[in-house]
Amino acid sequence: MTTDMNADSYVTEDGRTIGPVVMDLKNITLRFGGVVAIKDISFNIREGEIRAIIGPNGAGKSSMLNVISGFYKPQEGEVWFRGSKRPQMKPYQVAQQGLARTFQNIALFEGMTVLDNIMTGRLNKMNANLFQQAIWKGKAEKEELENREACEKVIDFLEIQHIRKTPVGRLPYGLKKRVELARALAAEPSLLLLDEPMAGMNVEEKEDMSRFILDMNDEFGTTIALIEHDMGVVMDLSDRVVVMDYGKKIGDGTPDEVRNNQDVIDAYLGVSHD
């Protein structure tokens, strides 16, 4: 079966529907002084897809993610989100629009319990004011209980029930990664950014994480953009792949297209200069 990937929406071979473009990055250039981290890169992310960003170390992948999540402001280029151009925004405002992310080096709140960390992910869903919270009546209590229920679903989904009340600082690395994913997922994001979700994991943990990512996409329809170094994982999971090298885009397409792209092969394996 052939699919027209430029259509407004299409159905993948495994039966998932890929919708219209959610996030469109147009001619992004990011400079730190004289260093050009990202050079004139354009690509888009479509609803319901798993989009991978790959490239050698220092290619500018994490910078790209930071541009998307509003942490870096690109000098040139436009970020379009859900059909409208995104104005200059603070990161927390971007989060309110429905973006959630995880970090390359885990950025959990170590002093809080797993449950509190995940509940923090839902902060944009709760808007009881300070006085309501101070007396813990009415809206404050109602919201707390409703959101607790939503968090429990995420906890269930990621199979971390047994560590709910444990302070995050006491957890091993693999579980921390999972809790961080739970915190991002609890926000019910329309776009979820994962920065190296499988870094430093063994094969078994990688398999677990891959399964969670696929299930998330499948069950909740979450759109996911991820950076990953494990090629096997990337090629298996993603619908489309962007390849970056030295801040430039050198490939973009399905895993198969990217795998056979000569520029990509050169970037990863090197070119002989003789």
Partner 1 sequence: MFYREAGDFKTSYRDDNQTFPIRLDRAGYWIALFVAFCVIPFFVNDYWVNSIFAPFFIYAIAALGLNILTGYAGQVSLGTGGFMAVGAYACYKLMVAFPDVSIVFHVLIAGGITAAVGVAFGLPSLRIKGFYLAVATLAAQFFLVWLFNKVAWFYNYSASGQINAPERSVLGVVVTGPNTEAWAKYMICLVFLVVLAWVARNLTRGMTGRKWMGIRDMDIAAEIIGVNPLMAKMSAFAVSSFFVGVAGALFFAVYLGAAEAGESFGITKSFLVLFMIIIGGLGSIFGSFAGAAFMVLMPVILKNLLVGTLGWPTEIAAELEFIIVGGLIVIFLILEPHGLAQLWRLTKEKLRLWPFPH
Instruction: Tell which residue, 29, 18, 183, has the closest CA to residue 106.
Output: 183
- The answer to whether residues 98 and 190 touch, using CB atoms and an 8 Å cutoff, is yes
> According to the binding rule CB under 8 A, does residue 166 interact with partner 1?
no
Of 175 and 250, nearer to partner 1 (C-beta) is: 175
Distance CA 90, CA 177 (A): 25
> According to the binding rule CB under 8 A, does residue 68 interact with partner 1?
no
> According to the binding rule CB under 8 A, does residue 199 interact with partner 1?
no
- The answer to whether residues 235 and 255 touch, using CB atoms and an 8 Å cutoff, is yes
Using CB under 8 A, pick the residue from 40, 116, 208, 263 that binds partner 1. Answer: 116
Angle ∠(1,244,224) on CA atoms, nearest 5: 55
> According to the binding rule CB under 8 A, does residue 184 interact with partner 1?
yes
Of 28 and 192, nearer to partner 1 (C-beta) is: 192
Using CB under 8 A, pick the residue from 31, 104, 144, 214 that binds partner 1. Answer: 144
- The answer to whether residues 40 and 49 touch, using CB atoms and an 8 Å cutoff, is no
- The answer to whether residues 243 and 55 touch, using CB atoms and an 8 Å cutoff, is yes
Closest distance of CB 222 from partner 1, Å: 16
> According to the binding rule CB under 8 A, does residue 148 interact with partner 1?
yes
> According to the binding rule CB under 8 A, does residue 135 interact with partner 1?
yes
For residues 76-95, which are near partner 1 according to CB under 8 A? 90-92, 95
Using CB under 8 A, pick the residue from 1, 145, 269, 271 that binds partner 1. Answer: 145
Using CB under 8 A, pick the residue from 21, 36, 89, 126 that binds partner 1. Answer: 126
Binding segment (CB under 8 A) for partner 1, from list 28-36, 102-110, 232-240, 244-252:
102-110
How many residues appear in the chain?
274
Instruction: Tell which residue, 179, 154, 153, has the closest CA to residue 166.
Output: 179
Alpha carbon 104 to chain centroid distance?
11
Closest distance of CB 59 from partner 1, Å: 21
The values of phi and psi at residue 31, to 5°, are -120, 140
In angstroms, the Cα distances linking 239 to 104, 200, 274 are 22, 24, 37
Residue written as token pair 């950025």: 107
Point out which residues bind partner 1 (CB under 8 A): 69-71, 90-92, 95-96, 100-101, 103, 107-112, 116, 119-121, 123-124, 126, 128, 130, 133-136, 140-141, 143-145, 148-149, 152, 183-184, 187
